[in-house]
Amino acid sequence: KNLNKWDISYHNGNKNIEIDGTFQDSIYIFKCENSAVKVNGKINCISVDGCKKLTLICDTIVSYVEVINCNSIDIRVIELTPTVNIDKSQSVNVHLSEKALDGNTTVNTSKCDAVNISFPNPEDKEDEVEYPIPEQIYTIVKENKLYPQIYFHDKSSYYFPK
């Protein structure tokens, strides 16, 4: 730890990394594989960069959790995060709590595939429901403008504004 920044780099096969943080702390997890990180307490932000097969469990995030250049990441937010940013990554599962269901969490994705969001099933809270984030945009060129739209493979999972 350096000032308010925790640096967790190059762990391989370490499933017992645990941090007790404060709301001023930021955590940077870099190039870890087959590992698990548990973060207790309220944290400012967490970055996961260049990791494979990583499990991250955290409580409350003040600003964001971000995932960049990763493959096979499992994130569980026990309390709440306002933002999850996922960029240039694949196979990212984000498990949110019941508190996210009031519209308090936004997930931003770019250059990603196989990103799934899970939250408690309203009919059985011990269970989870999982929805994929759409990953394809189709753009029609017409009348000298672009008409970009999200391509929904399975429309049942989503809300469509009227």
- Buried b / exposed e over 135-144, threshold 16 CB at 10 Å, is beeeeeeeee
Q: How large is the C-alpha radius of gyration of the chain?
A: 17
**Residue in 19, 27, 75, 96 binding a copy of itself, rule: CB under 8 A:** 96
Is 124 a binding residue for a copy of itself by CB under 8 A? The answer is no
Q: How far apart are CA 60 and CA 25, in angstroms?
A: 12
Which residue number, 49 or 135, has a Cβ lying nearer to a copy of itself?
135
* Distance of closest approach, residue 146 Cβ to a copy of itself, in angstroms: 5
Of 2, 3, 124, 138, which lies in the binding site for a copy of itself, with binding defined by CB under 8 A? 138
Q: Say if CB 7 and CB 1 are below 8 A apart.
A: yes
Closest approach, Cβ 100 to a copy of itself, in A, equals 5
Please list the residues that pair with 45 across neighbouring strands. 26, 64
Binding residues for a copy of itself, rule: CB under 8 A, are 96, 100-103, 105-113, 117, 119, 122, 129, 131, 133-152, 157-159, 161
